[in-house]
Structure 1
Amino acid sequence: MQHHLFRTLVFWLFSLSLLVAQPSEIRINSSADLYSDLFNAVQMSRIFPDSKTFADAIPKEDPEQIRLAYQRMRRQPDFSLLQFVNRYFIVPEVRASDFTTDTSRSVQAHINALWPVLTRKPDSQQGSWQQGGSLIPLPHEYVVPGGRFREVYYWDSYFTMLGLQASGREDLIRSMLDNFAYLIKTVGFIPNGNRTYYRGRSQPPFFAAMVRLLAASEGDSVLLRYLSPLETEYQFWMDGRDRLTAAAPAYRRVVRINDTQVLNRYWDDYPAPRPESYREDVLLAREVGGDSLQLWRDLRAGAESGWDFSSRWFRDHQHLATIHTTEILPVDLNALLYNLEMTLARAHQLAGHAEEREFYLKQAQLRSEAVRQYFWHEDQGVFLDYDFVAGQPTGVISAATLYPLFFGMVTSRQARAVAKIVRRSLLQPGGVLTTVNRTGQQWDAPNGWAPLQWIAIRGLEHYGEQALADRIRTGWTSLNVKVYEQTGKLVEKYNLLDTGLEAGGGEYPLQDGFGWTNGVLLRLLEDQEKR
Structure 2
Amino acid sequence: MKLLEKKAIEVLNKNWKNGFSIPCANLYPFQWFWDSGLIAVGFAHFDMDKAEKEIETLLDAQWENGFIPHIVFRSETDSYFPGADFHRSDLHPQSSKKYKTTGMTQPPVTGFVLKELYKISQNKVKTLSYIETVIDKVYLNHEYFFNNRDPKNEGLVYIYHNWESGTDNSPIWDDVWDTMNPPEYTFERRDTTHVDASQRPSKREYDHYLHIIEIAKKHNYDDKKIAELSPFLIQDPLFNAVLIKSNRSLIELYTLIGNNKDKIKQLHDWQEKSIKSFNNKLFDEEIGTYVHYDLRNEKLLKYVSSSSFSPLFAGIPTKERAMSMVKIMIDKFGGSHQYMCASFDPDSERFNPKKYWRGPVWVNLNWMLYRGLNEYGYSDLSERIKKDTIEIIEKNGFYEYFDSRKEMHKNGKAGYGGNNFSWSAALLIDLIHS
TM-score calculated relative to the size of structure 1: 0.60
- Counterparts of residues 65-214 of structure 1 (less than 5 Å): 106-121=3-18, 141-147=19-25, 148-166=27-45, 168-184=46-62, 188-195=66-73, 196=84, 197=87, 198-214=101-117
Counterpart in the other structure of 1:261: 154
Q: What per-residue deviation string (whole Å, max 9, x for no partner) do you get for residues 446-487 of structure 1?
A: x11110110111110100101111111112211210113xxx
In 2, Cα distance between the equivalents of 1:419 and 1:325? Answer: 33
Instruction: Provide the rounded CA distance (Å) in 2 between the counterparts of 1:161 and 1:523.
Output: 10
More displaced, 312-321 or 430-439?
312-321
**2:342 maps to amino acid:** L
* Cα distance in 1 for residues equivalent to 2:415 and 2:104: 26
User: 2:64, 2:28 → 1: CA distance?
Assistant: 22
CA deviation after TM superposition for structure 1 residue 388, in Å? 2.7
1:376 corresponding residue in structure 2: 283
**With structure 2 as the length reference, what TM-score do the two structures score?**
0.73
Larger Rg: 1
Q: Which residue of 2 aligns with 1:511?
A: 418
User: Distance between the aligned counterparts of 1:467 and 1:347, measured in 2?
Assistant: 30
In the TM superposition, residue 403 of structure 1 has moved relative to its aligned partner by: 1.8
Deviations 1:280-331 (A, max 9, x none): xxxxxxxxxxxxxxxxxxxxx1112211111122217999488887332101
Distance 1:468 1:204, change over 3 A: same
Q: What residue is the counterpart of 1:410 in the other structure?
A: 317
Check if 1:473 corresponds to 2:369: no
8 Å CA contact 1:203–1:306 kept in 2: the answer is yes
Letter in 1 for 2:242: L
Equivalent residue in structure 2 for 1:431, among 340, 350, 362:
340
CA contact (8 A) 1:316 1:322 kept: no
CA displacement, residues 407-437 of structure 1 (integer Å, 9 cap, x when unaligned): 1122111111111111011235322000113
The CA deviation at 1:347 is 4.7
Q: Give the number of equivalent residue pairs.
A: 345
| Contact 2:41–2:51 (Cα < 8 Å) also in 1 | no
Alpha-carbon distance between aligned partners in 2 of 1:346 and 1:326, rounded to the nearest angstrom: 34
Q: Deviations over 1:360-382 (max 9, x none)?
A: 20110010000110111233321
Match of 1:339 in 2: 245
SS of the aligned residue for 1:226 comes to helix
Matches of 1:325 and 1:158 in 2, distance apart? 29
Residue 303 of structure 2 is matched in structure 1 by 396
- Alpha-carbon distance in 1 for matches of 2:44, 2:365: 19
Contact 2:59/2:137 (8 A) holds in 1: yes
Could you tell me how far apart the structure 2 residues matched to 1:325 and 1:492 are?
Answer: 29
* C-alpha distance in structure 2 between counterparts of 1:414 and 1:393, whole Å: 18
User: Where does 1:278-289 land on structure 2 (aligned, <5 Å)?
Assistant: none
> Which one of the candidate residues 367, 376, 387 is aligned to 1:463?
376
Matched, 1:352 2:259: yes
CA distance, structure 2, for counterparts of residue 427 and residue 317 of structure 1 = 30
Tell me, yes or no, if the aligned pair for 2:232 and 2:296 is still in contact at 8 Å.
no
Higher relative contact order (CA 8 A, sep 6+): 2
Deviation at 1:520, TM superposition (A): 1.5
Q: Secondary structure of 1:119's partner? A: coil
Gaps of 5+ in 1: 1-103, 122-140, 241-252, 268-300, 485-489, 505-509
Q: Which position in structure 2 is the counterpart of 1:307? A: 167
Distance in 1 separating the partners of 2:142 and 2:356:
29
Q: How far 1:341 moved relative to its partner? A: 3.0
Distance 1:398 1:181 in 2: 30
Q: 2-side partners of 1:371 and 1:186: how far apart?
A: 28
Check conservation: 1:426, 1:434, Cα contact below 8 A.
Answer: no
Is the CA contact (8 Å cut-off) linking 1:145 and 1:516 kept in structure 2? yes
CA contact (8 A) 1:266 1:325 kept: no
Helix, strand or coil at the partner of 1:266: coil
Alignment partner of 1:492 out of 376, 400, 404: 400
Give how far 1:185 is off: 5.8
C-alpha distance in structure 1 between counterparts of 2:364 and 2:308, whole Å: 13
1:116 is aligned with what amino acid? Answer: N
Any unmatched runs of 5+ in structure 2? Answer: 74-83, 88-100, 179-203, 210-229
**Counterpart amino acid of 1:173?**
A
State the SS of the aligned residue for 1:230. helix
Partner Cα separation in structure 1 for residue 173 and residue 385 of structure 2: 26
Distance in structure 1 (CA, Å) of the matches to 2:67 and 2:282: 27
Identical columns (%)? 18
